[in-house]
Structure formats: structure tokens, C-alpha cells
Chains A and B, each alone.
Chain A
Amino acid sequence: MEYNIIVAGIGGQGSILASHVLAEAAIENNLRNGKKANVRVGETFGAAQRGGAVASHVRIGDIYGPLVRKGHADMVLALEPLEGLRIGVDYLSPSGVAILNTAAVSPVDVKVGAAEYPSIDKIKEALTAIGRKAVIFDAEALAIRAGSAKCVNIVMLGAACASGELPFEEDILLSAVTGRLPERLVKMNLEAFELGKQAYLTA
């Protein structure tokens, strides 16, 4: 048994934090329920600077290696659509679910006119063709509604939770989220989480 999630985004969006929250929830789930499942997070990122592609591989279960095998991601949680596409094309399992924030951040290649950003429709088409389903919504707008664009990662965790696919219960995930936050940010992030859940269910 194994469950593989890849959180994809760009540097500064909080994808690594989101992946560690998922991993901590998995560890807590082991502790609470006396389960024995390995938990690993493998990170891949470019040069150590802002704005580079980041993919964080969260693996739970009878696993040892730090990276998800190609075509074996049960969930791709994309904080940025192009990065969701990049990871989805290689890693999304035919039975996997892709959840995408539609707020795009153009790479420098597009800004200088050397490449064209694929349309959101095309990205959705690709991920639907490869995986079981693709759910897309503007998580950035929801994060701003909750209080700050910075909680886009928590909106996405809410959506991941609403999918019902994660191998642990909502309360465990929520305590992993709040355990990471100072008191003053808890309310805003709980709101962000809730908005993400609703967005998944209504998308």
C-alpha cells in the first residue's frame, strides 16, 4: 500500500510547507492509529532562488525512496498551472487526481517572448487525458478572500482534503496545518482551508 502526492509550484508559494504538512499528518495518523507506514518527502528544485520550479514528493506507505515513480502520483496538487502540467505529464497516475490553481505565473522564458504559456483549457485537457480527473479553480482569489495571497497553499490543502482521497482524516490534517502557524494566523488559514474545500466540491 502506498499513497503518493506531488505538490508542484514555484519558489515562494509555500509548496514545500504544504508537503511537510501532509507528511506530518501522515506521521500523526500512524501514531494515533498504531499504523506502520513510512513517510518521505523528496524535494526537487532548481537553483536556490525565488521563482524557480519546485516539486515536493510526499510518499506514504510501504515505500523507501524519496521520489515518486513516473506515472505513480495518486495526486498532483499544483499551486501553479504550468508546474502542475509539468509534473502531471510525467508523474500523474492514470487513476490519479490533479488539483490545480489557475493563477499562472509566467516563467522568464515567456516574459522575454521565447516561449508561449499554454492555455488553462489545454492544461486541463492534458491532465484529464492522463489522469482520472482534473479539478481546477482560482485558489489565489480564494486565498485573497481569506485574507492573504500567501495562504494559497492552505486553500489547496483544503481542496486536497475535500477530494476524500487522502489517507488520513480531516481533523488530523487540520491539526497539522494549525500546528505550523502562530495563533494570529490560524483563523485566516482555517478560512482558506474551508474555501479550498468548497471550491473542490463545487468545481
Chain B
Amino acid sequence: MGNEAIARGAYEAGIQLMAAYPGTPSSEIGEVLLDGSRDHDFYCEWSTNEKVAFEAAAGASIVGARSMAAMKNAGLNVAMDTFMTMPYTGCKGGFVVVVADDPSAHYSSTEQDTRLMAEYAEIPCLEPESQQEAKDMAKEAFDISEALELPVFLRSVSRISHASGDVKLGDVRTEHSRIAFNKHYKIQSRWNVYGPPGTLSKHVWLKSIYPKAAAMSEESHFNRLEKVTGAKTAVIASGLGASYAREALEELGLAGKVTFLKLGFIHPLPEKLTAEAIDGADRIIIVEEGDPVVENTVRIFAKEAGSTADILGKRFKGIFRPYGELNTDTVIGAFSEVFGLADEKDEKAAEREKYKPIVIPRSSSLCAGCSHLGSYAAIREALRKEPGVHIVNGDIGCYEQGGYGIFSSKNEACDDDSKKYTCNSPYEILDTIYVMGSGIGMAVGQAKAGYKDGKVMAVAGDSTFLHATLPALIDAVYDNADITFVILDNYWTCMTGHQANPNTIYNPYGDDLPGFDITGVCRSIGVKSISQASSYDRESAVKAVSEALAYKGPSVVIMNDECKLQLGRRVKKGKTKTHVDTARCNGCKSCIRLGCPAVKYDAVSRRSSIDEISCIDCGLCSQYCPQNAIGTEGEQNGI
């Protein structure tokens, strides 16, 4: 896996500290390094958020350690403040920032191309075309960083990070850099952007590094030119785009007939190499994953070089759409059009169309017996008792599925104000979703703007609570915002693969920890109305939410139940006991509206039933059945 390759590269480079916050598709970098850290004498942590991770790695570098911070695209947004400022002082120990982008937004809130951030921060950027190069770049990035005394940015994408390939391993650097500190290391007030002779001098220093980085890029083996004499077309492809371009050229019989410039060291872009590649070409094709980042610079270089070639990429006469990820098919399609080649015929096109209608979706859902099912059922029930159009602000985590809308995908947009929509499942409950922690901040604004047409709520998980909600919660108390904040505490960072966080009762190595006092923190912030409830106890959960909604001012409800997948790994479940008494069931679908994937409904018999394989006997559906038709007799074996 690409993420394992990146972790291996860091290990081969003799990494001394790795800090990360999990985020798909980057999480395995941290998981793999954490796994090996104790045996191989380096330090790893899941930081509270990406800014802390970046700062931990930066601090380690300042005292000389080879360090890495890893995050997903959105994580870099959280780290931006320090990320933009650190390059002004540069670094000492090799410092590599890995960011996994997500073209097509498979697992993300946006498709943002973070190569732009590397350019913005004025630091070198590497972009691998394969898992082998991901490993090689992760390793070499430490040397580049130490040579330039700058953080180095390694930009991955989902199809590198979450794809696998054969990788040749390299030697491991066993010696660790000495840990030391010098306040005026090579430059006066080195680690202090305000220190004499002032911030501007630090920017002047940063600018002075650029030519060195550019020279390095010209010579880098990650940039390779295959110049074909007399060829009128030059293909310039960066990162994974190079893999797609190579395959498309071979497929179309164009390999060796066009000039091919493969780019991996993409900021600074090698100007001389690019000029050489486009010299004599009347057509330049640019293939890259994400925004037209390389394309923009190539356009500038081409103009400077006096080239009048047509430049085909994602802008102007774009041959690729400016959104969504590339694949071999789209690149073959674009090349075919440019070169006037006939499209390959699919002899089974008619059959494929014929059978497409029977391919039904497999919608994402919360897990069977997930505590969020109970929390969302309680919130819905409490809100139903209140008049008006309520706003429930969500954010990112397993509970974001509260906005996936699988029961209501046919809702049409309209221009009405304060319109009430039915909410027949947990998958309709969230009204806003943006990023980690955005829900509570937005709830404060809605309440303070004077929203009176209904209640204002926010939800966040425990890891998100620590990561990104505390300043907003302080704001809610300071401004006395009339909102209810429900913390869905399941002890783990689940969505990204059950990583431990400071609220988990184990550290990543499995050692016991006391957990985190969320209630105590809320109290010390000044929240007056705080209650705790179990999502699996309908009555007390609904009561807790109802009382919080009735409170004038900021209120907090903590739904406190460990993730059942994690619990199930320690406490094994016996044979499923939950069952439906079909004589009592009248097909009212109350249990179905709970949204649990273990509850089935048969449209012919108009009766519900329980899926014995996935059901974990949590007892929720039994509490929500008005006919008392769902039984859960006997011991439930700890779950």
C-alpha cells in the first residue's frame, strides 16, 4: 500500500519522530509507523489535531530530529497557520510533511489540491507516480529537507495511498541525528520570526533558498525527460498522472513517438528541463491529478521560452475536466481526441446498458447496533416534541452519515424559508456538514443571529470534541448562545479505522489510560447544563436531550457508549437472541426508522425481522417497537 511505502521510506531515512492525526486516505502512514516505533526506537503519536501534529514534528526538527507530520487534505487546512510560518525560519532535522489528497472526494469534504499550499508556503513539493516512488520520495525528502533547511512537502493522492504495488526496499539509516538546540543556529534568532533583525529578513532568507531548490529540481531523478527528436507533441505528466499517461501512450501506440516529461519534483518546477521538453513542440499536453498547478507554471515557462505551442490540459482548450480524478480511460479518451484516433469499440455496450438497471445501490449506513443510532433516535424524538424547524449541525466522523440522506434522496430543492422536512431515519437528521468542529461554531452563529423558528443543535464525536470544538464551545458560553451540543462519545476515532485518541482508555500500544474528562472540561469552560446518558437507554437519552433543549443558554449532553465494533473485539458475542414476534409485528416500520442495518423489512409479508449475523443484541429496536414485538430475552453477554 502506498501509505505503507511512505512509512517505509521514513523508516529507511531514520525517522525520529512522527506525528499525525488520522484522516482517510492518509491514516495508514501513522498506523504503520506506530506499529514499528517501539521496536525501532523512534517516537510516534496520534496528535490531538493536525496543527498539533505539524507543530510536534516542527519542534522535533528544530532540535535536530528527522521528523514527519502526516495528514489528509483537510487536515492541512487545520495546520495552515504554523505551516505557512515555519518555512520563514526553515528547519534543522529533515522535516517531511505528507498530505494525502483525494481527487473525486471519495472520503473528503473537498477535492482541494494541496500542491497549491506547498507553493503558497514556498517549500519544495514532491509527487509520486507509483508506490515505489512514494517510498523513494519519502526517504529522499529528508535529505532534500536537510540540504535546503526547509520542510519538504510530499503530496500523495487516494490512488497512491490506497493502492498497492511492488516496491524494492532500500537500506535503513540506523544512526539518529543528535538532539540539540541553538537559539541562533546559523541565522540570528533562527526559530523566532519576530526576533531581530525581523520577520522580513526571514522572508528574504526563504526567497534566497528558492534558486537552490530550483537547481535541485533540474537535477532530480524524480524528473525524467524522454526527448524524441522531431516529435511535435510533448506530454508533460506529474505524479500519478504520469502512470496514466504512460499507459495511455502505450495503449494507443504513441509511446516513443512523443516527447515525454515525467515530473515528480514539482515545486519548484524545473524550468530548463521543461524548456528542453517543449522545444520544437507545437502541442503540449499536461496530465496531472487535481488542479492545473503544473499546467499554470508550464504556461508561464512556455511564454518565457517563446513557445507558441498549443497547451492542452484543464484550462482554456481543456481536454480534461477540471474536477474529479483521472484514470487510464479518461486519459486514453483525451489523447484519442487530440491525436484524432478512433475510440475503441465496446462490443458489449448494449448488454451493459441493459443490465445496469438491476444493479441496486449498497448505501453506506451506520453499523448494526451503533450507538449513534440510539443518539440520533433520541434527538429526533426530543425534537419532535418541540414546535418549529430545528437546525441540527453536524460534522465529520461516522456520525456524518446522519446527513447521507438514504431515505430522502428524492427531496427537491426549493426557495422557501424555514421549511420543515420529514426525518424518517437517522440518515436525514443532520442539516449542515462541513468540516471537523464546524457544527458547534455555526450553531453559535445561527442562535446569535436571532434564529427563532426552532431549536439550534450541534453534534460532534469525542475525537472531534478534542480536535476542533473547544474554542467554539467557549464562544457559546461567553456569548450565552441558546444551543444544545450533543457529544457522541464512543471512546475512539472510529471513522478512520479506530485509532486511539486522548479520550480512549488505551494508548496506541494498548497500555491502559484513564481516558479524558469531557464533563469536567465542559464544566470548567462554564457550561451550566451538562448531562450524560446512554444511547442504548431510550427513556433517559430522550429525557437528557429534552431537558437540554428546554435550558435557555448553552447546554451539553454527553452520549457515552463505547463503539460496539471495538467492544466486540474484546468481548465476544454469543448467538443472537434478538428476534421479532411476527404475530405481534404489524409492519409499522418503527424499527426500520431506527436505521439499523440488522433490522430487515419484508415488503411481501409486511413484517420486520432481525439479521442474525450482524445483530449485536443492543436492544435498541426492542425499545422503539410500539407493539412490543421485538424480544431480547436472556443474557446479552456483555454487549
Contact residues in B for A178 (Cβ distance below 8 Å): none
Q: Mark A82-110, 1 if CB is under 8 A from B, else 0.
A: 11011001100010000000000011111
Q: Mark B354-377, 1 if CB is under 8 A from A, else 0.
A: 111011111111110000000000
Which of B163, B355, B611 lies in contact with A126, CB distance below 8 A?
A: B355
Which of B244, B362, B595 lies in contact with A53, CB distance below 8 A?
A: B362
Contact between chains at B352 and A67 (CB < 8 Å):
no
Contact residues in A for B358 (Cβ distance below 8 Å): 85, 118, 122-123, 126
Contact residues in B for A89 (Cβ distance below 8 Å): 352, 355-356, 359
Which of A20, A51, A62, A107 lies in contact with B360, CB distance below 8 A?
A: A107
Q: Mark A64-82, 1 if CB is under 8 A from B, else 0.
A: 1111011100000000001
Q: How far is the CA of A41 from the CA of B398 in the complex (A)?
A: 26
Give the contacts of B191-249 with A (CB-CB under 8 A).
Answer: 240, 242-244, 246-247
Given A39-B166, A51-B597, A129-B355, also A71-B348 (CB < 8 A) = yes
Given A112-B407, A113-B592, also A43-B359 (CB < 8 A) = no
| A197 within 8 A of partner (CB) | no
Q: How far is the CA of A63 from the CA of B163 in the complex (A)?
A: 14
| B455 within 8 A of partner (CB) | no
Contact between chains at A27 and B166 (CB < 8 Å):
yes
Q: Which of B129, B131, B367, B597 has the most CB of A within 10 A?
A: B597
Give the contacts of B133-174 with A (CB-CB under 8 A).
Answer: 159-160, 162-166
| A184 within 8 A of partner (CB) | no
Contact between chains at B348 and A41 (CB < 8 Å):
no
| A47 within 8 A of partner (CB) | yes
Contact between chains at A111 and B367 (CB < 8 Å):
no
Given A47-B401, A130-B355, also A109-B614 (CB < 8 A) = no
| A181 within 8 A of partner (CB) | no
Q: Which of A30, A53, A66, A83 has the most CB of B within 10 A?
A: A66
Interface size on A, residues (CB 8 A): 54
Q: How far is the CA of A51 from the CA of B616 in the complex (A)?
A: 14
Q: How far is the CB of B626 from chain A (nearest CB, A)?
A: 18
Give the contacts of B328-353 with A (CB-CB under 8 A).
Answer: 328-329, 332, 346-348, 351-352
Contact residues in B for A48 (Cβ distance below 8 Å): 24, 107, 495-497
Contact between chains at B159 and A118 (CB < 8 Å):
no
| B130 within 8 A of partner (CB) | yes
| A165 within 8 A of partner (CB) | no
Given A41-B164, A51-B614, A109-B360, also A64-B497 (CB < 8 A) = no
| A10 within 8 A of partner (CB) | yes
Contact between chains at A23 and B164 (CB < 8 Å):
yes
Give the contacts of A30-72 with B (CB-CB under 8 A).
Answer: 30, 38-44, 46-53, 62-67, 69-71
| B327 within 8 A of partner (CB) | yes
| B389 within 8 A of partner (CB) | no
Contact between chains at B159 and A82 (CB < 8 Å):
no
Q: How far is the CB of A3 from chain B (nearest CB, A)?
A: 15
Given A89-B359, A107-B362, A130-B351, also A67-B166 (CB < 8 A) = no
Given A47-B401, A70-B329, also A83-B362 (CB < 8 A) = yes
Contact between chains at B364 and A46 (CB < 8 Å):
yes
Give the contacts of A110-148 with B (CB-CB under 8 A).
Answer: 110-118, 122-123, 126, 129-130
Q: Mark B546-577, 1 if CB is under 8 A from A, else 0.
A: 00000000000000000001000000000000
Given A10-B362, A46-B364, A47-B495, also A111-B164 (CB < 8 A) = no
| B601 within 8 A of partner (CB) | yes
Q: Which chain A residue shows the least CB distance to B608?
A: A111
Q: Which chain B residue shows the least CB distance to A83?
A: B362
Contact between chains at A49 and B351 (CB < 8 Å):
no
Given A109-B406, A111-B611, also A39-B599 (CB < 8 A) = no
Contact residues in B for A53 (Cβ distance below 8 Å): 362
Given A65-B327, A109-B406, also A39-B361 (CB < 8 A) = no
| B413 within 8 A of partner (CB) | no
Given A65-B328, A115-B361, also A129-B495 (CB < 8 A) = no
Contact residues in B for A23 (Cβ distance below 8 Å): 164, 166
Contact between chains at B600 and A106 (CB < 8 Å):
yes
Which of A44, A49, A107 lies in contact with B361, CB distance below 8 A?
A: A107
Contact between chains at A108 and B159 (CB < 8 Å):
no
Given A39-B165, A48-B496, A64-B246, also A118-B360 (CB < 8 A) = yes
Contact between chains at A111 and B362 (CB < 8 Å):
no
Contact between chains at A43 and B351 (CB < 8 Å):
no
Contact between chains at A108 and B363 (CB < 8 Å):
yes
| B603 within 8 A of partner (CB) | yes
Q: How far is the CB of A41 from chain B (nearest CB, A)?
A: 4
Q: How far is the CA of A31 from the CA of B356 in the complex (A)?
A: 41
Contact between chains at A66 and B329 (CB < 8 Å):
no
Contact between chains at B247 and A114 (CB < 8 Å):
no
| B35 within 8 A of partner (CB) | no
Q: How far is the CA of A50 from the CA of B496 in the complex (A)?
A: 12
Q: How far is the CA of A61 from the CA of B383 in the complex (A)?
A: 58
Give the contacts of B579-637 with A (CB-CB under 8 A).
Answer: 589, 592, 595, 597, 599-603, 611, 614
Given A65-B247, A65-B327, A111-B600, also A50-B565 (CB < 8 A) = yes
Q: How far is the CA of A112 from the CA of B602 in the complex (A)?
A: 8
Q: How far is the CA of A81 from the CA of B404 in the complex (A)?
A: 25
Contact residues in B for A117 (Cβ distance below 8 Å): 360
Q: How far is the CA of A43 from the CA of B592 in the complex (A)?
A: 31
Contact between chains at B355 and A41 (CB < 8 Å):
no
Please give the residue numbers on chain B whose beta carbons come within 8 Å of chain A beta carbons, in ascending order.
24, 106-107, 129-131, 159-160, 162-166, 240, 242-244, 246-247, 250, 327-329, 332, 346-348, 351-352, 354-356, 358-367, 398, 401, 406-407, 425, 495-497, 565, 589, 592, 595, 597, 599-603, 611, 614
Counting from the closest, the 8 A-B pairs by CB-CB distance are: A66-B163, A107-B362, A64-B243, A126-B355, A41-B164, A115-B360, A108-B365, A118-B358
- A–B complex contacts, Cβ < 8 Å, 16 sampled: A30-B166, A41-B164, A47-B401, A47-B495, A48-B495, A49-B364, A52-B364, A66-B240, A85-B355, A85-B358, A111-B592, A112-B407, A112-B425, A114-B407, A122-B358, A130-B355
